[in-house]
Amino acid sequence: MSREHETATQTNPVVAVERTTEHEVSWGFMQWLCSGAQFADAQQTFGYVEILPGRKNPRHLHPNSDEVLYLLDGELDHRIDDQVFHLEAGMAIHIPQGAEHDARNTGATVARMVVAYPTADRQAVMCEAGEE
């Protein structure tokens, strides 16, 4: 189970997406913009994610919260348990707490999205190998 850093480190409430290797993963890019690890008074986790064309993130689940994903650009096939849902830019999907899920970029461009969780301590359990 992964946990965010234990100590909140930011006092400035403004956060920007930073193109650093620290946020790169083998399938794309992931940066948390708000979480308990960043802000001591945070009550949610919010992030920006990119999945490269033809790639997917590892199958995983969140034991302590549901997730909402909003697709800004691109196309995704998002699998929740045994169902696959096709998303295009402008669509959102709700992933229930504890549901195994992953997303595959089925388009020719980078899939860009924001993700939100109703907890400052978003937890993830990996169901297959890979970087979260």
Identify the structural domains of the chain with CATH numbers, from first to last: 21-126 (2.60.120.10)
- Mean of the per-residue pLDDT values of the chain: 93
Could you report the per-residue pLDDT of 32-62, keeping only the tens digit for each? 999 999 999 999 999 999 999 999 999 999 9
What strands lie across the sheet with 75-80, from one edge to the other?
Answer: 83-88, 75-80, 101-105, 60-61, 125-126
* pLDDT at residue 50, rounded to an integer: 98
